[in-house]
Structure 1
Amino acid sequence: MSSSKLSLKDKLHLEELSQRFFSLAPREQLAVLIGIGLLVIFLLVLPITCASSKLSELENEMQDHQKNVAKIQQKIKEYESAQALLHQLESSTKSSSQVQLTTLIESLANKHNIGSKIERLDEKEKETGEGVGEKTLSVSMSQLSLSQLVEFFYFLEDQKDLKLKIQRLELKPRYDNRRLFDVTFEVVTLVSL
């Protein structure tokens, strides 16, 4: 029988091993037992240590992924909020042809008995984004009191059907009456193009 075909059991006879072990000096027996003990401990501790480090690494990765998921969820909420605001703005904006700022300002001024004080109206339109633009009306009025102006601006910005905003304002006191002002301002609204 060749030695390569022998089984492990045949190679390591327990009786032979135990006889060799007991034939050793007590000091050598102790060294062999310590060596076997260390080998057993090493064989038990090594896989546990590797598994433990891998497990803690996976836990850290899981925590990082949970943080990333939370960030993504926050970004999704921000996106949905921006989307809702965009839809609200789109529904509240009228088409450019529907918005006649000149007519609206003249009618509001006439309602407040200051229509005759309008000197100049200059309407401009510019595109600000995809399908959305700004319609701007530059208005010059003369001989207005401060209370008339404040009341007119209040009603201008309080329009329900159209969001108007006063953008630029210049007040110049008149030389003939310091209580009256010559006023130049811009009214702006968003329109869909």
Structure 2
Amino acid sequence: MTARTVVLASHNAHKLEELRRILGPLIPGIELVGYDGPEPIENGLSFADNALLKARAAAAHTGLPAIADDSGIAVDVLGGSPGIFSARWGGPARSDRANVDLLLWQLTDVADEHRAAGFVCAAALVVPGNDGDAHETVKLGVWPGRVLREPHGEHGFGYDPVFQPEGETRSAAELTAPEKDALSHRTRAFSALAPEIVERLA
């Protein structure tokens, strides 16, 4: 471990690689490592709450600065839902297909001009303190767009196939990884958090 070692509070190897791509150019020398400890129950009432729950758990378990994120899709006409329930919107199956199918069914009769939505990400940093206190910061990133009427594309995951980013003719699932990295809600949130990480690791 180095002075610039940060743990990502996630067991998802794909997310680890994605954040290494995002943060590497922003924080030279950062060593972002995976997390194999216990994950907390995500019972927060906002993206920020849940991101902090995960980062606090990883920081407490490892003693290292920890980052975490919580994200989902917020549809205007649904009052911001699925929101923090995005991953389990489709019921007990907790599958991407079930989530997407239910969302499309709910929007069946909604005109194209009223299908505005955004991917939202809360990025959290928790740095353990010598006195037992911890420094905590959260930044939000929003990727605006709209919900399509049917899935398109083979890349990405979750709601990517039915989300068309603002200014794009393709779905998020039709973008390449570098294209998505340049635009996504996760990139926006962690780009805003990066200066805080640099300051705390100095």
Same fold (TM over 0.5): no
Q: Going by fraction, where is helix more abundant, 1 or 2?
A: 1
Give the TM bin, normalised by the shorter chain. under 0.3
TM-score (norm 2): 0.24
Bigger CA radius of gyration:
1
TM-score (norm 1): 0.25
